[in-house]
Structure 1
Amino acid sequence: MHQVAQNSNSQHIEGHFESSAVVRDIVIGLSDGLTVPFALAAGLSGAVASSHIVVLAGLAEIAAGSIAMGLGGYLAARGDAEHYISERHREEREIVDCTEDEEEEIYEIFERYSVDRAAAAPVLASLKQNPAQWVNFMMRFELGLEEPAANRAHRSALTIAGSYIAGGMIPLLPYMLVSDNLAALKLSVIITLIALALFGALKGKLVGTGWLRNAIQTITIGGAAAAVAYLLARLLNGHAS
């Protein structure tokens, strides 16, 4: 008896991942922040022998890259918000001007889930009593659009820019601490590949796509970009000299 009561009072908690938009922004900022300055630093190490020059160029790239990435995130989020508002206004007009067509679309939506018209009719009647919720239903299930969070554009810009800066500082730290350019490069490769692996594993765990596969993927992409930049710089520098 006690066991039954205990089970009835227990709550079912689903482990769905939320805040996907924020995570997406962090992923965008960190992945580019780790990869681009890493490749730049490696490339410059193949052409110059001064860690100071690598640091200055890297900081300049981080500043420019964070601004560009943040602005891109702002414009993308702003565009999503404007698109949502435009589509919502269109749906608000259509449930008034084309009521019968919109009703038929409700039935068609339920048919996708194998719900017949007789079972869907009470839901339609309820939605017609609340036009705002009718529009919400059409936005979600007809158009597949979710209302963007307030100030989403500003938060997206700051999140992407901040993540880019955080990621970009990792490959530059050895050049700030070690005067020997070659030693700094080796140290930068080690800590950046570790950071890429941790970042990929965490991303894979959060989004449920496999931590190992994502870790290998981020290491491969970041390492390949740095290796190509380094070899190309050495090749061009050799021809120039």
Structure 2
Amino acid sequence: MVLEEGRAVTKTTSAAAMGSTSATEKLLQKHQENHFTAGQVVRDVIMGVSDGLTVPFALAAGLSGTSAPSSIILTAGIAEVAAGAISMGLGGYLAAKREADHYMRELKREQEEIITVPDAEAAEIGDILSQYGLQPHEYNPMVNALRKNPQAWLDFMMKFELGLEKPEPRRALQSALTIALAYIVGGLVPLLPYVFITTAEKAMLTSIGVTLTALLIFGCLKGHFTGNRPLQSAIQTAFIGALASAAAYAMAKLVQGA
């Protein structure tokens, strides 16, 4: 009789668990969170476009201060855009590769610790969970469950102990290409007036207007995606670009006068 009751209880508990799981799945399907998940790509685009708009802009302004013809300024600007895109892309590749290598080193070390000192690692799980306000009687079942699943245990330690997310396999190459292409797109903007206007001074004035407009738009978009105030971000971005070009122009005039 007890056995039958035990079975009945087991069946009831199992049915309740299945019902709870089904209800949870339905809730998750209805509730769709619109979190922004393309942070790394946006960071690469921001890095490439901001430098692409600023550096060639400052170079063109500086050369305009030397009374160089538009053709020379355009040639120098295109050369700088090509070199800058390669340099920035390579820098993005190496940075992403370094992050991936660091993750793999820490992953291997954590795997060894789980094997060699499992009790210490389990204690670390409890310490981490206690920081979220859980008591030992609450987190001990979670610790035991993770110990039975080595892969989940490893993933937990990497994320919550070390704060490391697993990098995407092609992250380094994607970062390099994104930054390089963004730099080229941004770098061509201040150079376009020199394609159509032969007089360097007139081309420079047009370039200033076009580039400042582009910087304002880009700064506004950057503020929107990064969570900052769009107007404030637009003004800051345009100010930095204008300051860089003014410094380059003044330096060129100073050197020319000397």
1:223 corresponding residue in structure 2: 242
Kept in 2, the 8 Å contact 1:77–1:156? The answer is yes
TM-score norm. by structure 2 comes to 0.87
Does the 8 Å CA contact 1:200/1:215 hold for their aligned counterparts?
Answer: yes
Q: Give the deviation of 1:9 after TM superposition.
A: 10
Q: Say whether residues 1:171 and 2:190 are aligned partners.
A: yes
Report deviation, 1:58: 0.3
Kept in 2, the 8 Å contact 1:17–1:207? The answer is no
Distance 1:118 1:76 in 2: 43
Alignment of 1:112-191 (within 5 A): 112-191=131-210
CA positional deviation for 1:48: 2.5
Segments of structure 2 that go 5 or more residues without pairing to the other structure are 1-26
Secondary structure at 2:53 match in 1: helix
Q: Output the aligned Cα RMSD.
A: 1.3
CA deviation profile, 1:74-118 (whole Å, cap 9, x unmatched)? 000000000001100111111111111111110111111111121
1:57 corresponds in structure 2 to 76
- What does residue 25 of structure 1 align with? 44
> Structure 1 residues 151 and 10 mapped into 2: Cα distance closer, same or farther (>3 Å)?
closer
* Structure 2: distance between partners of 1:97 and 1:68: 43
Higher Rg: 2
User: What is the CA–CA distance in structure 2 between the aligned matches of 1:55 and 1:80, rounded to whole Å?
Assistant: 37
| 2:127 pairs with 1:108 | yes
Distance 2:214 2:31 in 1: 36
* TM-score normalised by the chain length of structure 1: 0.93
Structure 1 residue runs of 4+, over 4 Å off?
Answer: none
* Structure 1 residue 12, shift from structure 2 partner: 2.9
The count of corresponding residues between Structure 1 and Structure 2 is 232
Deviation at 1:220, TM superposition (A): 1.0
Query: Which amino acid in 2 is paired with 1:12?
Result: H
The one-character-per-residue Cα deviations of 1:98-148 (angstroms, maximum 9, x if unpaired) are 111111110111111111121111111111111011110000000000001
Q: CA deviation at 1:49?
A: 3.2
Alignment of 1:214 with 2:233, yes or no, is: yes
C-alpha distance in 2 between matches for 1:102 and 1:108: 10
Query: How much identity, in percent, do the aligned residues show?
Result: 50
